[in-house]
Amino acid sequence: MEEFRRIVDELRKEANDVDKYAELAQDAVVRESADLSKEETAFITKRRQLQKVAFAKFIHEDPSNIDERDIPIVGIASSGGGYRAMLGFTGYLNAMKQSGVLDCTMYMAGVSGSCWSMALYYHPFIQADTLRLKQHLEGQVNVHWANMSHFLNLLTASPQHTKTLLRGIIQRQQHHGETNLVDIFGVLVGASLFTDNNRASSLGLSSQQALIENGQEPLPIYCVVRHEIGVSESLVEKMKKLSEFKSKKLLQEKDEEEKIKKDHLNVYQWFEFTPYDMGCEELEAWIPTWAFGRRFKHGRNTERVPELSLDILLGMFGSAFAASLVHFYQEVRSILPTTAIERFDDTVKQYELSMSNFHPISPSSFPNPFYKLSEKTAQGLSRPQSIISSQELHLMDAGMDNNIPFYPLLREGRNVDIIIAIDLSADIQTAPHFKRAESYIKRRGIDGWPQGAGWPKKTNKKYSLGTCTVFEGESREEIPSQKEKRKSIKLAYFPFILNERYDPEFDPQEIEFCSTWNFVYRREQVHKVLELAEHNWYDNVEMMRKLLRETWEQKRRERLRHEE
């Protein structure tokens, strides 16, 4: 116990050590702009320069014929789904790396379990080596993250292990005054995923700049959401009133239900974290990633504290257990008796809006960097009072809103031409990923999205889509202010489903060990998930080659026409 107290005291003293935490010598301000950061803009330039040879090689073209301006901007959007998503995305990543597509990719966005893959991929001891990542995970997922015996063994292995494991949570307690179950979850997951000898989960996210500063890897974008709890509570009241009105026949059902559904829009705001900055496009507000965790007021930090450790962020990125009751139901639906499913389906359909607002475990709470910001953005848009008037910012797993992170890839200035969507969800054919994306796109006024993308509503087949389907939007009209005709957004959709060419008996949508809630995989099970993902990619490499070549030719023609 004395040794433990000594370590805690050391951690508290180190939190003020500028030599250990260089960011303590810097103040941070909120950047109020819709533009990309100067760091990301510089990254894009360097990445484009490196992509020329790799892109030419992938599409089988002479590099001398490639103009950097014509190379398609490719973004990966990988879904959540616990360890299934983490392992599955690792398999896809390895196949993309080996086939050459990853070197042609500009962005990598993730939700939940895919964020864990990304955090490991960009970590100093993995060094963006997908083969090393595969080998690492094989030995890290055979013990449950909540196995206290395993955790205590790690904790007491040496004083250095104790310091590393506890640093994030001690600093949260010291500077924020409290910790919650999501923080503890992050520490346990970090302890489970990082090796004993290279456990650097206490590193901050900004340390990943080392692997992208020269454009050598895609820019990682970690996604979370904020839930408008106040709006949600009012919706619950409306649902209650609606039930009363129905019983008294005072209102027509359809009109009131439509009104409630409209009110439910904008209930989530998306926040993104990169090694450079974190913030929200709809707020037009950003801070350096190393400053997240500090208290701010009127756009300036009011304190200097060390950057939050990665394990605290891991908990927030993958806080699926802070999911709503509806999401819990969707996950366990397949294992319920048929009679129970019919009864619960009716209940969920009637009360989905109200149920979606109850969280069994609170989201992570952090000092709000946007506290007391101006009510209007630089473009004159209103910022939600519930954000700028609160000293706390509550963030959670982005899968609560959309399990596929399309939104950050549609951000103005990123100009993504092709989105590679890796869907590792449990409710893969019924989840409203595409419907919600279309609602967001209409609200944000984004053109070129492939309308109608997603799973067909009616089909007699088990899976009406294959292991890859390409959806393409209509060409955009010329934008007068830009004098530029931009082509459509192309979407290559990779659902993580059965591949009979690999193993007709292995369906990750049905196999019990692939459940989102399973956190223990045997080595042979890890191999199954990794290999299925790799086969699903390799079976469609030629389709991807054709897609990238056609998009390049399209952009090249448009540029040459514009230059005439």
- Per-residue pLDDT of the chain in tens (564 residues, 90 and over written 9): 677 788 888 888 888 899 989 999 999 999 999 999 999 999 999 999 999 999 999 999 999 999 999 999 999 999 999 999 999 999 999 999 999 999 999 999 999 999 999 999 999 889 999 999 999 999 999 988 777 787 777 777 777 777 777 888 888 888 777 777 788 888 888 888 886 554 454 589 999 999 999 999 999 999 999 987 554 444 334 434 444 444 444 444 444 444 434 434 447 899 999 999 999 999 999 999 999 999 999 999 999 999 999 999 999 998 865 443 455 455 555 555 565 566 556 655 554 444 455 555 567 899 999 999 999 998 888 999 999 999 999 999 999 899 999 999 999 999 999 999 999 999 899 888 999 999 888 888 888 999 889 999 877 788 999 999 999 987 544 443 444 444 689 999 999 999 999 999 999 999 999 998 899 999 999 999 999 999 999 999 999 999 999 999 999 999 999 887
Q: What's the pLDDT at 340?
A: 56
Buried b (16+ CB within 10 A) or exposed e, 130-148: beebbebbbebbebebeee
DSSP result, 338-365: HHHHHHHHHHHHHHHHHHTT--SSPPEE
**Strand ranges for 176-246 from DSSP E:** 219-227
Distances in whole angstroms, Cα of residue 354 to Cα of each of 312, 357, 408? 30, 6, 28
Q: How many residues does the chain have?
A: 564
- What residues are paired with 398 via a beta bridge? none
405 and 540 housed in the same domain: yes
Place of tokens 């605290």: 312
410 and 540 housed in the same domain: yes
63 and 190 housed in the same domain: yes
Place of tokens 């599955």: 88
Distance of alpha carbon 58 from alpha carbon 68, whole angstroms? 15
Q: What's the pLDDT at 336?
A: 52
199 and 233 housed in the same domain: no
Largest Cα separation within the chain, whole Å, is: 77
User: How many folded domains does the chain comprise?
Assistant: 2
pTM above 0.75, yes or no: yes
16 and 158 housed in the same domain: yes
Least Cα distance to 115 among 217, 179, 205 occurs for: 205
Place of tokens 């956190």: 519
406 and 512 housed in the same domain: yes
Q: What's the pLDDT at 150?
A: 76
519 and 554 housed in the same domain: yes
Distance of alpha carbon 101 from alpha carbon 93, whole angstroms? 9
Least Cα distance to 112 among 81, 134, 75, 91 occurs for: 81
Contact 398, 223 (CB under 8 A): yes
Local structure of 274: helix, strand or coil? coil
350: tokens are 């009637």
Distance of alpha carbon 279 from alpha carbon 118, whole angstroms? 19
E strand or H helix at 268, and its extent? strand 268-273
Least Cα distance to 256 among 237, 243, 242, 244 occurs for: 242
14 and 76 housed in the same domain: yes
126 and 165 housed in the same domain: yes
Q: What's the pLDDT at 361?
A: 55
Residue 317 in domain: no
Domain boundary residue, one of 339, 358, 377:
358
Gyration radius of the chain over CA positions: 24
Q: Give the angle 285-291-295 at the CA atoms, nearest 5°.
A: 80
Q: For 43-55, what is each residue's pLDDT tens digit?
A: 999 999 999 999 9
CA 480 to chain centroid? 34
Q: What's the pLDDT at 239?
A: 38
Residue 86 in domain: yes
Q: What's the pLDDT at 108?
A: 99
Cβ neighbourhood burial of 9 (10 Å; 0-12, 13-18, 19+): exposed
270: tokens are 């998306």
Residues 6+ apart with CB under 8 A from 18: 24, 25
339: tokens are 């009679």
Q: What's the pLDDT at 362?
A: 61
Residue 498 in domain: yes
Distance of alpha carbon 542 from alpha carbon 548, whole angstroms? 10
Residue 492: which CATH number? 3.40.1090.10
64 and 148 housed in the same domain: yes
Residue 531 in domain: yes
Contact 403, 433 (CB under 8 A): yes
Residues 6+ apart with CB under 8 A from 557: none
Local structure of 469: helix, strand or coil? strand
173 and 241 housed in the same domain: no
Residue 7 in domain: yes
Q: For 510-559, what is each residue's pLDDT tens digit?
A: 999 999 889 999 999 999 999 999 999 999 999 999 999 999 999 999 99
User: What is the span of the domain harbouring residue 76?
Assistant: 2-223+400-563
Residue 496 in domain: yes
Residue 444 in domain: yes
Place of tokens 């962005």: 107
Distances in whole angstroms, Cα of residue 538 to Cα of each of 24, 56, 92, 490, 494? 47, 19, 9, 19, 11
Q: What's the pLDDT at 275?
A: 98
405 and 543 housed in the same domain: yes
Residue 31 in domain: yes
Q: Give the angle 366-367-369 at the CA atoms, nearest 5°.
A: 115
Q: At what angle do helices 113-121 and 82-99 cross, to 10 degrees?
A: 50
Query: For 278, phi and psi rounded to 5 degrees?
Result: -135, 150
109: tokens are 């966005």
Least Cα distance to 81 among 357, 398, 396 occurs for: 398
Q: What's the pLDDT at 347?
A: 52
Residue type present at position 477: E
Query: For 164, phi and psi rounded to 5 degrees?
Result: -65, -45
